[in-house]
Structures are given as structure tokens and as C-alpha cells.
Chain A
Amino acid sequence: GQQVMQIPQYQHVQEGEDFTTYCNSSTTLSNIQWYKQRPGGHPVFLIQLVKSGEVKKQKRLTFQFGEAKKNSSLHITATQTTDVGTYFCAASNFGNEKLTFGTGTRLTIIP
């Protein structure tokens, strides 16, 4: 089955520093989604990327989909304490609503 790996597994940063998590697949993906899960909470949809090389921004968050559609990244500029949580990528294929979730990157912020 489809497997999606994320690195790093954990990231501790000082408040104000940048943060990046990477998502990699051995197979070409139709699209990729990103979710955020706060401690004790549930995953919340952030964004979906569909096109090769696509870049989308949400305030301090920048999402990229690789040219080969096998990898993706999420970059947060100038982290804030509200960014704490686990960030998951999730992949699916057109016509199939199933998502394969990555292993997640847990972000903690040092004030």
C-alpha cells in the first residue's frame, strides 16, 4: 500500500525561529493534504495541493508540492506558541477518498 514518510519526527524551536517539515512518498501522488493536530485535539485540515510544483501560502505558512509530485513541505516563518502541535501530511488518489497519513512532525516551541 501507499506509504508516506515525514521528517523530522520531532522539532523543538525557539519562538520566532522558522520550522519546516517534509513529506516523502515512493510513488507519484495525485494530491496531498496537510493537517494540524493540537495537543489533545483532533486533526484539522489546513490545505490541499494538487498541481506539480504548486506553492500555497496561508499567512506565515508556506506549502509546496514537488515537481515530481512525490514530496511536499510545510514551512512556518517566525513560529509562535500557537503553532504548537503535530503536523501531518496525507495523500490520496483521484476517485478515492481514502487518505494515507504521514507519520507526523511534532512541533514544540520554547518561549
Chain B
Amino acid sequence: DARVTQTPRHKVTEMGQEVTMRCQPILGHNTVFWYRQTMMQGLELLAYFRNRAPLDDSGMPKDRFSAEMPDATLATLKIQPSEPRDSAVYFCASGPGWVSSYNEQFFGPGTRLTVL
């Protein structure tokens, strides 16, 4: 049963520390997305990759956030330095893209980040 995996599942850190979140997309999927979910803002798209190339990171605070795909099996989201307002659940999702007639997204279990 193919699924998206994310590590860590929970992270508590202090303000100013670097945070790295990792995602393994479903094998064969060519699109990867990073989302942030908070009660106030809902589900926000931070960054989006197709075939490992970044296509859109307009939703991401550029000064402190960065997203990369070093290879097809790994996507990373890094926050440096972290701030309390970054506390949220971060979801990674992957999808088959428009190669299929559906472009549904498969979400990982999320990383719950708390910045003190």
C-alpha cells in the first residue's frame, strides 16, 4: 500500500533553531507539494515541485524557508531560523500530475511543529 511518509511526526524546538522536515513521495509520482495547516489560515500551499524542479514557492516566506528535492525519493522543507509563528502542521503531498486524468494528491501524515 503506497503512501507518503514524513519525518519527524512531531518536533518541538526553540525559537531561532533550524528545523528540517523530510518527505518521501509515492514512487512514480512526479509532483510534490508542501502545505502548512493552522487553525487561522487553513491549508496553505508553500511550495510545489514537478519532476524535482521547483515550480512555485510563492506561498513560502523566502527569508527563512527553503524547499528542495535532492532526489526523486526525498523532499525537504527547512526553516532557519524558526519562529513561534511557524508552529503548525506541515503536510507533504505527492501526485501523479496530469499524466493521468486525475491529479489527486496523496498526503503524508504531517509534521506537527511547535516553536517555543
Name the residue of chain B whose CB is nearest to the CB of A45.
B104
Q: Measured between alpha carbons, how far is A43 from B103 in the docked complex, in Å?
A: 15
- Which residues from A are CB-within-8-Å of B31? 97
B50 touches A42 (CB 8 A): no
- Which residues from B are CB-within-8-Å of A92? 103
**Cβ-defined partner of B109 (8 Å) among A42, A88, A94, A99:** A42
- Which residues from B are CB-within-8-Å of A33? 104
A101-B107 contact, Cβ under 8 Å, with A94-B98, A95-B98: no
Say whether chain B's binding surface is mostly helix, strand, loop, or mixed.
strand
Name the residue of chain B whose CB is nearest to the CB of A98.
B48
B108 touches A99 (CB 8 A): no
With an 8 Å Cβ cutoff, the count of chain A residues facing the other chain is 18
Say whether chain A's binding surface is mostly helix, strand, loop, or mixed.
loop
With an 8 Å Cβ cutoff, the count of chain B residues facing the other chain is 22
Does B54 touch A at the CB level, under 8 Å? no
- Which residues from B are CB-within-8-Å of A97? 31, 48, 50, 95, 97-98, 103
Q: Measured between alpha carbons, how far is A42 from B23 in the docked complex, in Å?
A: 14
Name the residue of chain B whose CB is nearest to the CB of A6.
B42
A80 CB to closest chain B CB, in angstroms? 23
B110 touches A88 (CB 8 A): no
Interface centre among A42, A45, A88, A100 (most CB of B within 10 A): A42
Q: 7 A-B pairs, CB-CB below 8 angstroms?
A: A44-B107, A88-B43, A92-B103, A97-B50, A97-B98, A101-B42, A103-B42
The residues of A with any CB-CB pair to B shorter than 8 Å are: 33, 41-45, 48, 88, 92, 94-95, 97-101, 103-104
The residues of B with any CB-CB pair to A shorter than 8 Å are: 31, 33, 42-43, 45, 48, 50, 56, 91, 93, 95, 97-98, 102-110
